Amino acid sequence: MLDATQKLHFYQKGTFTVGNRLVSDQKRAVQASIDRSNALTCGHRACQGCGEALGARYAMDAAMRATGGNLIAVNATGCLEVFTTPYPETSWQIPWLHSLFGNAAAVATGVAAAMRVKGRPEVRAIAQGGDGGTTDIGFGCLSGMFERNDDVLYICYDNEGYMNTGVQRSSATPPAARTATTPAMGPEPGNVFGTGKSMPKIAVAHGIPYVATATVADLHDLERKVTKAMSIHGARYLQIHVPCPLGWGSASHDTIRLARLAVECGLFPLFEAENGVVTGSQKIRRRVPVDDYLKPQRRFAHLFSTEEGRGRIGRLQRLADRNIAEYHLIDAEGDG
């Protein structure tokens, strides 16, 4: 055991951190570089500790490196669009377009087609939006983009609701979560335990070349997935889990911690799929019960005050357990 560990080039401080002074620049995250593009720069109006602002810079900077700066981004309506581009200011340091709430996938398809026609195939297109613009409003356009296998990477920043307009429920809002439209009252407080709508699974079902989930809590994994996505042509889908301090009722400094706990409890599985087949998943490093993830969020506070609430936590735990089994998030030995 010890010998095996020591044979590894052991840089314990750099395994999970953004950078590491002991390894070459190529082995560090894009975010560690002084020369990162800062595609989304300072002065934007996102809330303190915004997970989406962070996720967008992570993904775009990685894509900028992967494409050598030949990148055009199309944005759906949503927080990301609103807080980065209050007229006439912009926080984007890349070519960036916004059209409507629901048509980002279609607009990006057009951008890719235009670049092809102009003889600039090296210029790549990315569409991005929140979960509302993806799983609800933009669903039709997105499915079409998938099914035609258009050369677009679609990135969904999943903060589990319509946060910009005042925290309304979306089809990505988890069961039991309190939102403005699913108040914590009545016999079924918070969002319903519906059937669920997994956009990554829907994307896999389209058989597109590449689908992945990522999180702001695991930068190395996120950048690897963006880089891989940009190395592939055709329709690709990436869903990034981005905690929202405002909508979730969490402390602004807990954004990354919550994203990490979502992975570690099993509620947000990290996996990849190619051509309709799941090819791998990130193992849980230190498993925690869902309570650890739910407790710091006020949208789940009602679960902790009643006996029925405890029962609902149990149901959420079963969802997590199901993910762990389905995506093999824990090694067979059981210690992760």
Partner 1 sequence: MEHPFAISLDVGTSLANLTGSWRTSRPVYVDRLPPCNNACPAGENIQAWLYHAESGDYEAAWRTLTADNPLPAVMGRVCYHPCENACNRAQVDEAVGINSVERFLGDEAIRNGWRFAPPLADSGKRVLVVGAGPSGLSAAYHLRRMGHAVEIHEAGPFAGGMMRFGIPKYRLPRDVLDAEINRITDLGVVMKLNTKVDRVVESMRAGRFDAAFLAVGAHIGKRSFIPAGSAAKILDAVSLLRSMEGEDKPLLGRRVVVYGGGNTAIDAARTAKRLGATEAIIVYRRTRDRMPAHDFEVEEALQEGIMMKWLSTIKRMDEGVLTVEKMQLDEKGFPQPTGEFETLETDSLVLALGQDVDLSPLDGVPGLVINDGVVQVAANMMTGYAGIFAGGDMVPSERTVTVAVGHGKKAARYIDAWLHGAVYAPPEKHEVASIDKLNAWYYADAPKTVRPMLEIARRQSTFEEVQGGLDETNALYEARRCLSCGNCFECDNCYGVCPDNAVIKLGPGQRFQFNYDYCKGCGVCAQECPCGAIAMVPEEI
Site string for partner 1, 204-233 (x = CB under 8 A): ---------------x--------------
Smallest distance from the beta carbon of 128 to partner 1, in angstroms? 16
Contact 275, 191 (CB under 8 A): no
Which residues, 81 to 120, sit near partner 1 by CB under 8 A?
A: 84, 87-91
Q: Rounded CA gap, 210 and 155, in Å?
A: 12
Q: Using CB under 8 A, pick the residue from 2, 118, 307, 333 that binds partner 1.
A: 2
Smallest distance from the beta carbon of 329 to partner 1, in angstroms? 17
What DSSP element (H or E) covers 97? strand 96-98
Smallest distance from the beta carbon of 107 to partner 1, in angstroms? 19
Q: Rounded CA gap, 317 and 135, in Å?
A: 24
The single residue listed with the structure tokens 């490196």 is 65
Query: Is residue 302 a contact point for partner 1 (CB under 8 A)?
Result: no
CB within 8 Å of 271: residues ≥ 6 apart: 200, 212, 213, 278, 280, 281, 282, 327
Smallest distance from the beta carbon of 45 to partner 1, in angstroms? 7
Q: Using CB under 8 A, pick the residue from 78, 203, 230, 257 that binds partner 1.
A: 257
Q: Rounded CA gap, 280 and 221, in Å?
A: 12
Q: Using CB under 8 A, pick the residue from 169, 260, 299, 312 that binds partner 1.
A: 260
Query: Is residue 253 a contact point for partner 1 (CB under 8 A)?
Result: yes
Site string for partner 1, 14-43 (x = CB under 8 A): xxxxxxxxx-----xx-xx-x---x-xxxx
Cβ atoms < 10 Å from Cβ of 143? 15
Q: Rounded CA gap, 294 and 304, in Å?
A: 9
Q: Rounded CA gap, 166 and 55, in Å?
A: 21
Smallest distance from the beta carbon of 214 to partner 1, in angstroms? 15
Q: Using CB under 8 A, pick the residue from 252, 275, 279, 306 that binds partner 1.
A: 252
# chain residues binding partner 1, by CB under 8 A: 54
Q: Rounded CA gap, 116 and 32, in Å?
A: 33
Which residues sit opposite 211 in a β-bridge?
Answer: 237, 273
Binding site for partner 1 (CB under 8 A): 1-2, 5-6, 10-22, 28-29, 31-32, 34, 38, 40-46, 48-51, 53-54, 57, 84, 87-91, 219, 245, 251-257, 260, 286
